[in-house]
Amino acid sequence: RLLVAPITLRVSEAGTLVIAVNGRWRKLAVKRAGQLKIGYRGAVRGVTAYVIDRAGNRSRTVSARR
């Protein structure tokens, strides 16, 4: 049975979201600031994410575990 687990993050500016879900990394383009919902099929055991803005500055890394 597959579970669909939306991951909700809030970003303060546009840039590139770098996110790891259960240890698998990927990059997503963020066009504007606000709340993001990222769909994931399966159980989410851990999330780590940070944003790189258009000027190349990296945000603080956030992590969550279940």
- Span 40-64, pLDDT tens digits: 888 888 999 999 999 999 999 999 9
Q: What is the mean pLDDT of the chain?
A: 91
pTM for this structure?
Answer: 0.86
Cβ within 8 Å of residue 65, ≥6 positions away: 45, 46
User: For residue 3, is pLDDT > 70?
Assistant: no
Q: How confident is the model at residue 31 (pLDDT cuts 50, 70, 90)?
A: very high
State the virtual CA torsion across 40, 42, 43, 46 in degrees, nearest 10.
Answer: -40
Please report the pLDDT score of residue 21 as a whole number. Answer: 94
List, for residues 6-28, the tens digit of each pLDDT value.
899 999 999 999 999 999 999 99
